[in-house]
Amino acid sequence: MLDTQDTYAPHAPDRVATPLPGAASSAATPSPVSRLHSAIRNPQSAIAAIRTENVSRIYKVRGEKATKGAKAQPLTALGGVTLRVEQGELFGLLGPNGAGKTTLIKILTTLLAPSGGLCYVDGLDVVKEADEVRRRINMVSGGETSGFGILTVRENLWMFSQFYGVPTKEAYARIDELLKIVELDDKANTRVSSLSTGQRQRMNFCRGFVTDPKVLFLDEPTLGLDVHAGRIVRDFTRDWMRQDPTRTVLLTTHYMAEADELCDRIAIIDHGAVLACDTPSNLKRQLQTQPVFAIRAAGVGPAQLAALGHAPGVQRVTGEPAADGAGYRLKFILDDEAAIGAVVTALTAVQGRILGLQKEEPTLEDVFLKLVGRSLTPAEGEA
Amino acid sequence: MPSAKHTGWRLFFDAARARAYPRIWGAMREPSWIFFEIFIPLINAAAFVYLYRALHAPEAYVGFVILGATMAAYWLNVLWMMASQLYWDKQSGFLELYILSPASLMAILFGMGVGGMFMTTLRAGTIAIVGTLLFGVQLDGSQWGLATLVFLVAMYALYGLGMLLSSVFLMWGREAWQVAMALTEPVFFLTGLNFPLSKLFATIPAALTLVSALVPVSFGLDALRQLLFPGQIVGVLSPGLELGLLAVMGSAFVVAAYLMLRRMEWLARVEARLSLRWQ
């Protein structure tokens, strides 16, 4: 649930700020902040960019996925999701593989019909007004098939812009601008078949923006991009939203830092249900009473995680080999700081040797770990 | 300030033009088609030409074969580049992008059809010209106007059938490839690509003649042969009647394709056939 007392700081690093001015004090063009607060106080007062009410989706597994001879079993991908994303928000959807993120995006983008519930994009019913919804949206998926290999980058982007009725002259102007931003302008006249994976992904990214959608769905947009290209994509997304306060982005990502940096609010989803929905700072604040310790230890590995997880006062523990190869890096979320003694005892009991110990500020990854029970990017083992 | 996006028919033609673009300009960039799609069909036609000459068949049969090879290029284009295309687009993820856009699938298919027809006309035209010159085919051009009309209406019906088949193939999913393979040679036979259709109709069961008649190549080719080789062939029906039937069939195919696409899209959304590639 949203907390109306908390800070909402769109397109900026999270801040624990002073109370926000009310909508009445805003300028003629209300900011996303005031719109959000207004909507929270009166949910019917404004058209949300995205609104879902108890949306569910059940797949009937058939074909080779079902056991031969057995009756096909229903698979619940979404089990009643209720969300509201305001205009101007950059909203994150976090969840492990199979959590239902992509299913929700496909429903919102009219590619899939919900099994139950209601879904609106820009105030339009995605089932009954799919054609109108499509005029207002676009989607970029990380790792999606790139355009026709035989066409150049510029030609491919033009082709997709025409499916949205963008006038050719305007389309080319936008394409040239976008390619420059993603540093692909020198490849504008190169055939797509000659591009690297990262270059193709940057081209796909441009495809989503060239039609200037009101609501843009970015499904793992930085997948396969190097650090520099990922930075370009994030910076551009933020700038693009700043240019027009009515633009909305719904982002899914596996990169917690990316979600933390970009998103105004985040919904954590698992097994088709929303476990939490709030600003990154508020989500992290939930863990402030629960200390997080990082311990580097030798002589332990995935096999010992279960035993460590059962130590008194331990809520969650994850582990992964240390980046520099020296020892194993464990992360504990504890009930309170006093529980660290029990952790040390448990480590000794499993023949572990502590190389380093550090108390950490909670991160979004920790929040995710606490809510979902496992890491978003599972390492060798978790308990 | 961005200008307004096109809607309605303007959007339809924008989308169709854009989808035709890779078919026309993309194909131009791969000259290997000259060998595979002109030289090889000509060799196939040459086999029939030499066979007919060895059997001392009337010389008009050489013309029938060249005309058949020309029409075969269109049938293969419809079968492999139209009917199977949406299924392949689904497998590659393009179909999602088409459906996500406000352009109608009919516009996408229309673009595929126009682009395919343009490129196939280059191929088919080359086959016709080279075949005619190589084997000394004597055409009668006295009814060229009607012959052109028959050809255009046959194309309308044939590509309408392609649009219909594309949505059917999409429903059949994984079997699309096999269906296309299975349809290639039997249709060559049933449409009389290499011999007069009337000879075939005199020997096969009535049900098969109906199947044959549903492929626009049959009546299109039969009418063209009657018009370009007058007095040298007995047609199944008169060229005028065949022209009328082709026009009716074409319209029926286009309407059926539209309805099938709507139905397919709805089913795909309900049954997740767009999203799950194994479905």
Residue ending a domain, choose from A256, A284, A312: A284
- Chain segment A225-235, per-residue pLDDT in tens: 888 888 888 89
Q: For residues A226 and A84, state if they share a domain.
A: yes
From A138, A165, A212, residue closest to B6, measured CB to CB: A165
- Residues of chain B positioned with their CB less than 8 A from the CB of A131: 102
Question: What HEC string does chain B produce?
Answer: CCCCCCCHHHHHHHHHHHHHHHHHHHHHCCCCHHHHHHHHHHHHHHHHHHHHHHCCCCCHHHHHHHHHHHHHHHHHHHHHHHHCHHHHHHHHCHHHHHHHCCCCHHHHHHHHHHHHHHHHHHHHHHHHHHHHHHHCCCCCCCCHHHHHHHHHHHHHHHHHHHHHHHHHHHHHHHHHHHHHHHHHHHHHHHCCCCCCHHHHHCCCCHHHHHHHHHCHHHHHHHHHHHHHCCCCCCCCCCHHHHHHHHHHHHHHHHHHHHHHHHHHHHHHHHHCCCCCCCC
Do residues B264 and B167 make contact, with C-beta atoms less than 8 angstroms apart?
yes
CB pairs A-B closer than 8 Å: 105
Question: If you average pLDDT over every residue of chain B, what do you get?
Answer: 87
Mean per-residue pLDDT, A288-298: 85
Q: Reduced to 3 states, what is the DSSP secondary structure of residue A370?
A: helix
Q: What pLDDT, on the 0 to 100 scale, is given for residue A197?
A: 86
Q: For residues A215 and A197, state if they share a domain.
A: yes
When scoring B13, B14, B90, B278 by the number of chain A Cβ atoms within 10 A, the one with the most, hence best to mutate, is B14
- CATH code at A347? 3.30.70.100
Residue A147 belongs to a domain: yes
Q: Reduced to 3 states, what is the DSSP secondary structure of residue A110?
A: coil
Q: For residues A303 and A268, state if they share a domain.
A: no
Q: A29 or B150: whose pLDDT is higher? A: B150
Range of the domain at A319: 287-382
Mean per-residue pLDDT, B238-267: 92
Q: For residues A229 and A96, state if they share a domain.
A: yes
* Structure-token match 């080789």, residue found: B229
Q: Reduced to 3 states, what is the DSSP secondary structure of residue A325?
A: coil
Q: For residues A195 and A335, state if they share a domain.
A: no
Residue-range domain boundaries for chain B:
8-19+29-271
What is the CB neighbour count within 10 angstroms for residue A168? 14
Tell me the sheet residues that pair with A124: A121
* Contact: B5, A164; criterion CB under 8 Å: yes
* Contact: A65, B278; criterion CB under 8 Å: yes
CA distance A291 to A146: 45
Do residues A304 and A364 make contact, with C-beta atoms less than 8 angstroms apart?
no
Residue A112 belongs to a domain: yes
pLDDT at A36 over 80: no
Backbone angles phi, psi at A319, to 5 degrees: -150, 150
Q: For residues A133 and A261, state if they share a domain.
A: yes
CA distance A262 to A258: 6
Contact residues for B71 (Cβ-Cβ < 8 A; gap 6+): B124, B154, B191, B193, B217, B220, B221, B224
* Contact: A164, B93; criterion CB under 8 Å: no
- Chain segment A150-179, per-residue pLDDT in tens: 899 999 999 999 999 999 999 999 999 999
Q: What residue in A sits closest to B11 (Cα-Cα)?
A: A165
From A112, A113, A167, residue closest to B3, measured CB to CB: A167
Residue ending a domain, choose from A252, A284, A316: A284
Mean per-residue pLDDT, B167-188: 78
- The strand order across the sheet containing A248-252 reads A137-141, A215-219, A248-252, A90-94, A265-270, A273-278
The total domain count for chain A is 2
Q: A365 or B254: whose pLDDT is higher? A: B254
Residue ending a domain, choose from A221, A249, A284: A284
Q: For residues A250 and A131, state if they share a domain.
A: yes
Q: For residues A257 and A314, state if they share a domain.
A: no
- Residues of chain A positioned with their CB less than 8 A from the CB of B109: none
Contact residues for A243 (Cβ-Cβ < 8 A; gap 6+): none
Q: For residues A78 and A209, state if they share a domain.
A: yes
Residue A41 belongs to a domain: yes
Q: What pLDDT, on the 0 to 100 scale, is given for residue B216?
A: 94
Percent of chain B with pLDDT over 90: 44
CA distance A345 to A312: 10
Mean per-residue pLDDT, B188-199: 90
Residue A7's pLDDT band (cuts 50, 70, 90): very low
Do residues B77 and B116 make contact, with C-beta atoms less than 8 angstroms apart?
yes
The ipTM value here is 0.85
- Residues of chain B positioned with their CB less than 8 A from the CB of A138: 100
pLDDT at B254 over 80: yes
CA distance A17 to chain B (A): 34
According to DSSP, residue A209 is labeled H
- CATH code at A207? 3.40.50.300
Q: Chain A within 8 Å of B91 (Cβ-Cβ)?
A: no
Q: For residues A200 and A309, state if they share a domain.
A: no
Q: Chain A within 8 Å of B93 (Cβ-Cβ)?
A: yes
**Which token pair is A230?**
């990922």
Among A43-57, A112-126, B228-242, whose mean pLDDT is lowest? A43-57
Q: For residues A145 and A224, state if they share a domain.
A: yes
- Chain segment A38-85, per-residue pLDDT in tens: 554 445 446 899 999 999 998 877 655 545 566 677 888 888 899 999
**Which token pair is B129?**
């010209």
Q: For residues A210 and A324, state if they share a domain.
A: no
- Chain segment A303-336, per-residue pLDDT in tens: 888 889 999 999 888 888 887 878 899 989 888 8
